[in-house]
Chain A
Amino acid sequence: QKEVEQNSGPLSVPEGAIASLNCTYSDRGSQSFFWYRQYSGKSPELIMFIYSNGDKEDGRFTAQLNKASQYVSLLIRDSQPSDSATYLCTLIGNTGNQFYFGTGTSLTVIP
């Protein structure tokens, strides 16, 4: 079983809609969770960080973490064509140093 599982998509949403990206993980000791955005041909860039259960909001982005269910998600409100990218779910394992990346979900926002 992979440490981090994501639906590879592609996920398509119309402009202005809410995009919901989901991720599950296997290690209950995982401590911190990140969402990176990666445009085609570019390197990943951090957009959200969460380590406590519940929701964390930053502009149009909301990260949600449920450690009991080992589930983390990213909601993008009022989706824009510029949000079209691959989103990588990432976590730090229980050692505090090892990073685990999901394979990414490809999102397309249709104008």
Chain B
Amino acid sequence: DVKVTQSSRYLVKRTGEKVFLECVQDMDHENMFWYRQDPGLGLRLIYFSYDVKMKEKGDIPEGYSVSREKKERFSLILESASTNQTSMYLCASRPSRGIWPGYEQYFGPGTRLTVT
């Protein structure tokens, strides 16, 4: 089974802190994604990566950056956390471009981040 893990289930940080969210997948997937999920807004794509050291902005990249130094690990960085970044953060991975069964996104358990 595909396993996607995230470094923390719950995290509380103060405004202005630098925050690192880590995601690791064990299935040698090329593509990895970071989303945030807020009530009424659904899943919104922050950044994604097609391969090591490659990154693409999603729909809401402002205030975030990412790092992918190894294929299995994709990190989301909040350079200076703000209260409006309080949210559920979900990491996902999938094999490279494809539309067939098995090419769906596999999600990690999520990190609920609270910024006070």
A, B assembled together: yes
By a beta-carbon cutoff of 8 Å, the part of chain A in contact with chain B is 8, 31-32, 34, 41-46, 49, 51, 88, 90, 92, 95-97, 99, 101-104
Q: How many residues of B contact A (CB 8 A)?
A: 23
Given contacts A32-B103, A97-B50, 9 further A-B contacts (CB under 8 A): A8-B40, A44-B90, A46-B106, A49-B101, A49-B104, A51-B99, A88-B42, A92-B103, A101-B42
- Identify which of residues 3-48 in chain B touch chain A, using a CB-to-CB cut-off of 8 Å: 31, 33, 40-43, 45
A-B contacts at CB below 8 angstroms, number: 47
Q: Which residues of B contact A97 (CB under 8 A)?
A: 31, 50, 97
Query: By DSSP majority rule, is chain B's interface helix, strand, loop, or mixed?
Result: loop
Max count, chain B CB within 10 A of own CB: residue among A43, A44, A45: A43
By a beta-carbon cutoff of 8 Å, the part of chain B in contact with chain A is 31, 33, 40-43, 45, 50, 90, 97-101, 103-110, 112
- In the bound assembly, the distance between CA atoms of A34 and B110 in angstroms comes to 20
Give the contacting residue for B99; candidates A42, A43, A45, A96; CB below 8 A: A96
B111 smallest CB distance to A (angstroms): 10
Q: Which residues of A contact B42 (CB under 8 A)?
A: 88, 101-104
A59 smallest CB distance to B (angstroms): 16
